[in-house]
Structure 1
Amino acid sequence: MFTIRIHIIGGSGSGKSYIAALLSGKLGIPHYDLDDIFWHNQSNEYGVKASEEARDRQLKKIIEFDSWIVEGVFRAWVEPSFAAADKIVVLMTPLPVQEERIWKRYEERITDIVPSKKRETLEGIQNLLAWNKEYNLVKLPDLISRWDYKDKMILVRDNLDLLEFQLI
């Protein structure tokens, strides 16, 4: 059995969860959604963060495994995962595609077409869209331009193109 550690980042709606699940099945290794670590999903309110100690402890457990795929939009607190990763996939899906996916996901969740632990609101989605635009146009390009991990990075504009890369 081979070992590989993959970290996937990209804006909301870029396809991180989709490609993580696809790769997990293809490679036979577990994947972890960083939202499940960052947010306090048992809270009665939407948008409550988990404690930093709990979040960091959970991330440390994950990156100690031989093989994993983690995915999330986060940057600063996931530095240990970037350092431990063999490959870092950066999804640069076009912003209009991401926005369409965010709206579709919201509609599916509020109509219970897709079950969700998240309790989103219209105001929350509007805030997410604004945040995601800045992330994609400013924060992510800035991170990439000054990153120490360029040798591990795979930049992908269409997430299915990732399947053509030799990850192992």
Structure 2
Amino acid sequence: MIHFDFAASNLQVKSSAERGAAHTVPRAIPLAIYWIILMKRLHVLGGPGSGKTALAKIICELSGLPHIELDHMAYADSDFFRPRCREDRLAAVKTYSSKEAWVAEGVYFSWIGRSLKYADRIYHLTIDQVERQRNIDAKLSLRFPERDERHARHLAMLSLSNSEYDALYKNRIEGFLKPVRDKLIIVHSMEDALKEFGTLRAN
């Protein structure tokens, strides 16, 4: 269930799935409900800690679209040290991308070409590296509160990936996205992405 507070300067979205946690998003977001009727397949990508999952969850809660977490397809139990083979990843992407509606999100690019091809809109979150690292630290602290060896391994891996992401985007990902640039939206924050729904509706 979603609760809206239209009286506030910003829209308060409270998700029952988040056990009462409130997300503050721009007031323009109700327009997304109408826009989603036409745009039913969305792909969100960006570096580690850029807010992909948070944005996808809000969109899915507002629209009712199914949430596709690519981490589950890339790794067994989302454990970054248990990767699935490329064939399994491609098969999983083929399955969901053939469906009528979805919101897929993940850092990946080399094996999600079919998802980008069939997406109605693609968002690339270009969050500052320092902010991404803060988000990584916070997320892993929640996932591994005991800060054991698993926490240390995942932190080291994600921190390295984060430090390399901007160069990777410039050298490889940007070119990979050229065939779909007509439906690609570059945003600098989750709030910017949500505002974009209102802009599309106004146009």
- The count of residues paired between Structure 1 and Structure 2 equals 159
Shift of 1:20: 0.2
Matches within 5 A, 1:1-168: 2-41=38-77, 47-111=81-145, 120-135=150-165, 137-142=166-171, 143-145=173-175, 147-166=178-197
Shift of 1:69: 0.6
Shift of 1:144: 2.1
CA separation in 1, counterparts of 2:80 and 2:96?
25
Give the aligned CA root-mean-square deviation in angstroms.
2.1
Give the TM-score of the pair, scaled to structure 2: 0.71
Q: Extract unaligned runs of 5+ from structure 1.
A: 113-118
Q: Counterpart amino acid of 1:151? A: D
Pick 1 or 2: higher relative contact order, CA cutoff 8 A, min separation 6: 1
Shift of 1:145: 4.9
Shift of 1:131: 1.6
Deviations 1:49-91 (A, max 9, x none): 1122222211111011111110000011001111111111000
Match of 2:170, SS?
helix
Give the TM-score of the pair, scaled to structure 1: 0.85
**Native 8 Å contact 1:3 1:66 kept in 2:** no
Q: Extract unaligned runs of 5+ from structure 2.
A: 1-36
Match of 2:112, SS?
helix
**Native 8 Å contact 1:8 1:16 kept in 2:** yes
Q: 1:46 to 1:34 in 2, by over 3 A?
A: closer
Deviations 1:3-39 (A, max 9, x none): 5211110011100000000011112211100000010
